[in-house]
A and B are shown apart, each in its own frame.
Chain A
Amino acid sequence: MNKELLKKIFLPFIVLVLVIQVWTGIASIVEDFPTPSDTYVAAFGGINADGDEIIGVLEDPFYIENQDVKGLFWQIMESLKRVFAGFSLAILVGVPFGLMLGMSKSAQYAFDPFIQIFKPISPLAWLPLLLFIFQDINMTAISTIFITSIWPIIINTALGVKSVSEDYMNVAKVLRFTAFEKIVQIILPVSVPYIFTGMRLSLGIAWLVIVAAEMLTGGIGIGFWIWDEYNNLNYHNIIIGIIVVGLVGYLLDLIMGKISDYFDYTKKGRA
């Protein structure tokens, strides 16, 4: 047991050392590629290889110079805001829509072909069209995330509804539940774990997509920041950006996982 724990800490540490070795190797081959220590200094501040004093980007992520120049924290916040706006909208539309698809065979026949076609389209393919419609960076990013998030939510919600067993519906019939009571007391509780699975998938993809979307729309956001640092030849900041994006994504998934476990009656769930 304790040995397992040691392994869990020690083995990733070895991999980390290996990754840094490979990274150092690449830095020595590719010209101007930031070394791990350069990147560390760029992140947390200190003296870089050229002997210059540097303030790290993670040292003061909260600074605001002006409307367009803000610290990393604000860039991340801006991206998260867009993700949550689009994601929430997708839940608001996707869950009722999924419920309808799951409950009505006709609705399913009517919409299924379109869902199957729209689902595999990269959300970024919509971006130029959305930009044209809204003529606004923020709206474009939010609606791109909306389109990204909605498919897994619809599909999983419908799946949840279909997983409601005949027996539960028979109980509802014997008790003469109204349609509304059936939805609230039977269908939703069964579907909730499925809906959360859909939401977790959606949020994961949304976080993937927002970075790319912001590179295209520009303005603000972590995606834009990474692209901007490329234009400024601050290659070490690109690496910092990538790592931060990964950490935030991991955190989002962790939180979403905890929330979905909480609502899932099959995993303790019951308060």
Chain B
Amino acid sequence: MSEKFLSLENIEKRFPIPGKDDYVAVTDVNLEIKENEIISIIGHSGCGKSTLLNMISGLDAQTSGSIKLQENEIQGPGPDRAVVFQNHSLLPWLSVYENIEMAVKKVMPELDAAELRQRVETYISMVNLDHAKDKAPGEISGGMKQRVGIARALSITPKVLLMDEPFGALDSLTRANLQEHLMRIQQKVKNTVIIITHDIDEAVLLSDRVIMMTNGPDATIGEILEVNLDRPRNRVELQHDPEYIRCREAILSFLYEKFAKDDE
């Protein structure tokens, strides 16, 4: 695990603005992520979290700097870096089953029909959606859709799972439920996960390290917080855990004292 897994070196992203200087969204980002580590990125909205994630996923290229996954420079998007989008982006004309099947079929064309079926069903079971597998995305709740999104992303065994505010659009109970799902899955199958959030509790609960970003323009990594809590974690018991409280306070102080933003 000491091997370099995912590394970001001197990342900068500029957006050209017609007739003006480029907008420097993020700059000088350096980060090493270990295998099977869960990282969350937190920061005020507009600071460049999505921009950073899009560069790792390859959906958008950095202006300068290098992103390497297992020593290989990232070239565009690929199934080794699966993405769970905020708005789930399931294809509405396919059933839950077919949405996952589509991904597995494409990424693992060598599977025969039985293996394919088994793989899809395994991942549907992993998010407890066996009863809904033949439903259309339009017929299930937002939380369930997001679970399908997670199952679809994991079904192609990516090296890194990227999640951009995956639970941002959900109510707090559903959100907690999905966090539990994610932690349970992580206990079973280890993944390297990068999750963007602006929820402090979510960041502490889920992650091994919390990356705190300064405000844009020229946003960068302000502080990195290690969360030294054993797993499995229990959200109720954690409320009185001194380490949990320390982490919460560190993030709170970063976001609302050191890098407060008025317009929020």
Chain A residues at the B interface, C-beta cutoff of 8 Å:
165, 167-168, 170-171, 173-177, 181, 185-186, 189-190, 265-266, 269-270
Contacts and interface: CB of A to CB of B under 8 A. Distances in A.
B176 interface: no
Contacts of A265: 92-93, 136
A130 B91 CA distance: 44
Given A168-B89, A168-B91, 19 more contacts: A165-B89, A167-B87, A170-B59, A170-B77, A170-B83, A171-B85, A173-B58, A174-B57, A174-B77, A174-B78, A174-B83, A175-B79, A175-B156, A176-B77, A176-B79, A176-B106, A185-B102, A186-B91, A270-B136
A174 B153 CA distance: 10
Contact of A171 (B78, B91, B93, B136): B91
Nearest to A269: B93
B106 A173 contact: no
A175 B109 CA distance: 12
Nearest to B156: A175
Contacts of A266: 92, 138
A131 to B, nearest CB: 44
Contacts of B156: 175
A44 B170 CA distance: 65
The 3 closest A-B pairs by CB, nearest first: A265-B93, A167-B89, A173-B77
Contacts of B102: 175, 185
B123 to A, nearest CB: 15
B107 interface: yes
B103 interface: yes
A181 B106 contact: yes
B196 interface: no
A170 B57 CA distance: 10
Contacts of B136: 265, 270
Contact of A175 (B59, B93, B103): B103
Interface string B47-72: 00000000001110000000000000
Interface in B69-114: 76-79, 81-83, 85, 87, 89, 91-93, 95, 102-103, 106-107
A170 B107 CA distance: 15
A186 B106 CA distance: 13
Main secondary structure of the interface of A (DSSP, over half): helix
Chain B interface: which size bin?
20 to 34
Residue of B59, B76, B91, B93 with most partner-chain A CB within 10 A: B93
Contacts of A170: 59, 77, 83, 85, 89
A173 to B, nearest CB: 4
Nearest to A173: B77
A262 to B, nearest CB: 13
A19 B81 CA distance: 69
Contacts of B107: 175
A170 B59 CA distance: 7
A177 B87 CA distance: 21
A189 B89 contact: no
B93 A167 contact: no
A101 B189 CA distance: 45
Given A167-B85, A167-B87, A173 B59 contact: yes
A175 B104 CA distance: 9
Contacts of B82: 174
Nearest to B59: A170
Nearest to B76: A173
A265 B136 CA distance: 9
Nearest to A178: B106
Contacts of A176: 77-79, 106
Contacts of B85: 167, 170-171
Contacts of A186: 91
Given A167-B85, A170-B83, A170-B85, A175 B91 contact: no
Contacts of B138: 266
Given A167-B85, A173-B59, A174-B57, A189 B91 contact: yes
Contacts of A185: 91, 102
A131 B180 CA distance: 72
A171 B88 CA distance: 10
A72 to B, nearest CB: 42
Nearest to B107: A175
